[in-house]
Amino acid sequence: MKYYDKLIFEISEENRIGYNLEKKNLPKVVLPNEIKRTEKAELPEVSEFDVVRHYTNVSQKNFGVETGFYPLGSCTMKYNPKINDELATLSGFANIHPLQPVETVQGLLKIYHDTQKMLSEISGLTAYSLNPFAGAHGELAGLMIIKAYHQKNNDPKRNKIIVPDSAHGTNPASATVCGFDVVEIKSNPDGTVNLEALKAVLTDEIAGLMLTNPNTAGVFEKDILEVSRLVHEAGGLLYYDGANLNALLGKAKPGDMGFDITHINLHKTFSTPHGGGGPGSGPVGVCEKLTSFLPNPIVKEKEGIYYFENSNDSIGALGQFYGNASVYIRAYVYMMTLGRENMSDIGPLAVLNANYIKDSLKDLFVLPIDRPCMHEFVFDGLIDSSTGIKTLDLAKRLLDYGFHAPTIYFPLIFSQSMMIEPTEVESKETLDEFINVMRIVAKEAIDDPEMVKSAPHNTIVRRLDEVKAARNPIVKFRDIK
Ligand SMILES: Cc1ncc(COP(=O)(O)O)c(C=O)c1O
């Protein structure tokens, strides 16, 4: 192990100092005894230079959208423009204290207010709360709204949520966490809703249906109006998992399709950074009849003054203070930079890029749904599978060529799923290079399968024992032998 590969605590030396704070320039503060530390803080004792080297080294071991092509299906790994960061970190925003009086944070509240409004306009829903911290958190908020709505209507027996078997795993998980029973329905072979299967489960116990459109196989739900009619007729509500909104951006609105509730992943569609667990944001939006159930607080405006408003019917607050403020600012800047006219190019370009890759490789990879896709599509392994190369091997080998792997083994409806989502931001040259490497890897799979099976060979971490990692995870650096 190289010296700077060690963790920052391991290179710590007693009494080494990174920064010398001149005590004489500090204001005198007397701390009450009960909040004073009784033991020395366990902090690494390192020089500033050690810290810089350590983090620079760590950053070079990572792979991100800023190091290379990242076609991770369902994750919309698009470029995060630097102007978003620049404006989100302006001191007027970055130094706001959560307990500051609202009259002193009017600028930030205007951003919240206008972001809520723009999301409403984009999705065709009446109102938004920015509260939830992730897509899955937005799902939970939406399901809590569904529950509160039926309870308010004295219809608490509605305790079942329908989820197609092609859904993202967070959908059934959120429904279960919210106390609903999940009713799974089998999809059509292309992952779209099977209307007969839907009709068969529509009883007076159905609270709602969760759906993403385009679905997880990148196919537009052509029967969405019929789906929404059926669910509404049975007394249920329609939840839109907005993680795939990028495909429709500026062209179609979930509200127009009949959805009553949606979450939107700002950290995907609206170009704020994600990965490694956050920070994320999953604002939840609703149609007119559900506005009073939104999580508190909502930012409102009256005569040019912005303020927080709480509703009595609200499902409550799902985040503290101002939430992930920097994420909302980034998303706001992104929307304002693009404007209405440019935003409507996003969906079509994302769709074009996905179709270009799909059509350029379908002579080598199994294409279970062979028709125009939306912003992403799924291959189901190699056409020539004679050497036993699996999707996992192909994905690992791509890393050797400097590409992040696509999403693999999802959606679950195909056994060798490889889900590719290039997004609208990639140039034709990058797409061509990826196509070229996919063709090389497909050839290697036939010519030298053992090499592909043991890939990656050029990355900092080689192939892991995934079963062992899942069963015996080592989560403390002190336990690493
Ligand atoms: C279709 C779909 N729904 C929901 C989610 C959950 O979003 P988040 O990761 O922000 O919780 C994802 C995330 O990948 C997704 O792809």
Q: Report CA torsion sign: 343, 270, 260, 161.
A: positive
DSSP H helices, 95-252, are 106-123, 135-152, 170-177, 195-201, 224-233
Strand 261-263 and strand 284-286: the pairing is: antiparallel
pLDDT at 241: 97
- pTM of the entire structure? 0.91
Strand order in the sheet with 417-420: 377-380, 417-420, 407-408
pLDDT in single tens digits along all 481 residues of the chain: 677 777 888 889 999 988 877 888 888 889 999 999 999 888 899 999 999 998 888 888 888 899 999 999 999 999 999 999 999 999 999 999 988 999 999 999 999 999 999 999 999 999 999 999 999 999 999 999 999 999 999 999 999 999 999 999 999 999 999 999 999 999 999 889 999 999 999 999 999 999 999 999 999 999 999 999 999 999 999 999 999 999 999 899 999 999 999 999 999 999 998 876 567 899 999 999 999 999 999 999 999 999 999 999 999 999 887 888 999 999 999 999 999 999 999 999 999 999 999 999 999 999 999 999 999 999 999 999 999 999 999 999 999 999 999 999 999 889 999 999 999 999 999 999 999 999 999 999 999 999 999 999 999 889 988 889 889 888 876 666 6
Closest CA to 405 of 416, 385, 419, 415: 419
Ligand 1 pocket, 236 CB below 6 A?
A: no
Separation of 243 CA from ligand 1 center, angstroms? 6
Ligand 1 pocket, 75 CB below 6 A?
A: yes
What residue type is 111 in one-letter code?
A: I
Q: Is there a common fold for 86-338 and 346-471? A: no
Ligand 1 pocket, 354 CB below 6 A?
A: no
Ligand 1 pocket, 135 CB below 6 A?
A: yes
DSSP per position, 284-325? EEE-GGGGGGSPSPEEEEETTEEEEE--TT----SS-TT-SH
Q: Whose CA is nearest to atom 5 of ligand 1?
A: 135
Ligand 1 pocket, 136 CB below 6 A?
A: yes
Ligand 1 pocket, 227 CB below 6 A?
A: no
Which DSSP letter does residue 477 get? G
Q: How far apart (Å, rounded) are the C-alpha atoms in residues 133 and 405? A: 26
Ligand 1 pocket, 391 CB below 6 A?
A: no
Separation of 317 CA from ligand 1 center, angstroms? 21
Instruction: Specify the CATH superfamily of domain 346-471.
Output: Aspartate Aminotransferase, domain 1 (3.90.1150.10)
pLDDT at 146: 98
Closest CA to 299 of 446, 454, 470, 119: 119
Write down the residue that tokens 């049975």 correspond to.
234
**Model confidence pLDDT, tens digit, residues 205-227:** 999 999 999 999 999 999 999 99
Q: How far apart (Å, rounded) are the C-alpha atoms in residues 296 and 60? A: 41
Contacts 24+ apart (CB under 8 A), 47-55: 47/16, 47/17, 47/18, 48/18, 48/19, 50/8, 50/11, 50/16, 50/18, 51/8, 51/18, 53/4, 54/4, 54/8, 54/11
Q: How far apart (Å, rounded) are the C-alpha atoms in residues 270 and 331? A: 5
Residue 96 contacts residue 112 (beta carbons within 8 Å): no
Cβ burial of 341 (10 Å; 0-12, 13-18, 19+) is exposed
pLDDT at 277: 57
Output the CA torsion 114→116→117→118 (10° steps).
90
So where are the chain's domains?
1-61, 86-338, 346-471
Closest CA to 227 of 260, 263, 190: 260
Q: Which atom of ligand 1 is the closest one to the Cα of 242?
A: 3
Q: Which atom of ligand 1 is the closest one to the Cα of 265?
A: 10
pLDDT at 322: 82
Mean pLDDT of the chain, nearest integer: 94
pLDDT at 9: 85
Write down the residue that tokens 């609208």 correspond to.
424
Helix (H, G, I), strand (E, B) or coil at 261: strand
Closest CA to 123 of 265, 225, 253: 253
Strand 237-241 and strand 261-263: the pairing is: parallel
Domain spanning 86-338 has what CATH number?
A: 3.40.640.10
Q: How far apart (Å, rounded) are the C-alpha atoms in residues 365 and 383? A: 5
Q: How far apart (Å, rounded) are the C-alpha atoms in residues 116 and 338? A: 17
Separation of 135 CA from ligand 1 center, angstroms? 5
Cβ burial of 465 (10 Å; 0-12, 13-18, 19+) is exposed
Closest CA to 73 of 326, 246, 317: 246
pLDDT at 279: 75
Ligand 1 pocket, 168 CB below 6 A?
A: yes
**Model confidence pLDDT, tens digit, residues 261-281:** 999 999 999 999 887 656 789
